[in-house]
Amino acid sequence: MNKSLYWIICRIAALMLVVITFTPLVMPAGTHGPALWGMPYTLWTGIIVSILLVLLTFIGTRIHPGRKNSEEQ
């Protein structure tokens, strides 16, 4: 697989994470359990989503098609 395909997968994964954020999987209305280390559900799932998005950003920087033909060469 080439980098372009990885980059497409990376973007799809980021978009899916965004969609998931707005579902009851992350934001169940009026529910604050189950807790993790005392943190309410929406908070800890929100933190996980944020970390995953930053991780995807990091992966994106490694596979971005514009990385090689960088403008400053």
Partner 1 sequence: MIRTLIFIGVIYVGILITFSLIFRQRQKSTNSYLLAGSKLGSVLGLFTFAATLFSTFTLIGMPDFFRTHGVGSWIFLAVSDAVMVFAIIWLGHALREKARNKDFKGLSGLIRDCYQSKFAGYVAFFGAFIFLIPYVSIQIRGISIFLNATFPESLPTWAWALSMVVVMLIYSETGGLKAIIYSDVLQGILLLIVIWIASFVCISYFGDMQNMFKKVEQTNQALLSVPGPKGLFTTQFLLASMLAIVMIPFTQPQVVTRIIIMKDQRSLFRMAVGVGCFAIVIILPTLFLGMYGAVKYPDESTAGFINKVLIQDQSESVAAFIIIGLIAAAISTADSQIFALGSELRSLMKGDDKKVMPITRVAIVFFAAISLIFSLFSSDQLVLLARTSFAGTALMGPMIISGIFSEKEMGPVVPTATLLAMALFVGSLLGLIPNSLLGIRLDITLFVLLLATASITYYVKNNGSLTNDSEEIKS
Per-residue contact string for residues 22-61; x = within reach of partner 1 by CB under 8 A: x---xxxxxxx--x-xxxxxxx--xx-xxx-xx-xxx-xx
To the nearest whole angstrom, how small is the minimum distance from the Cβ of residue 1 to partner 1? Answer: 19
Q: What is the DSSP string of 53-73?
A: HHHHHHHHHHH-GGGTT-TT-
* 20: Cβ contacts below 8 Å, ≥ 6 apart: 26, 49
SS3 49: helix
Residues that bind partner 1 (CB under 8 A): 11, 14, 18, 21-22, 26-32, 35, 37-43, 46-47, 49-51, 53-54, 56-58, 60-61, 64, 66-67, 70-72
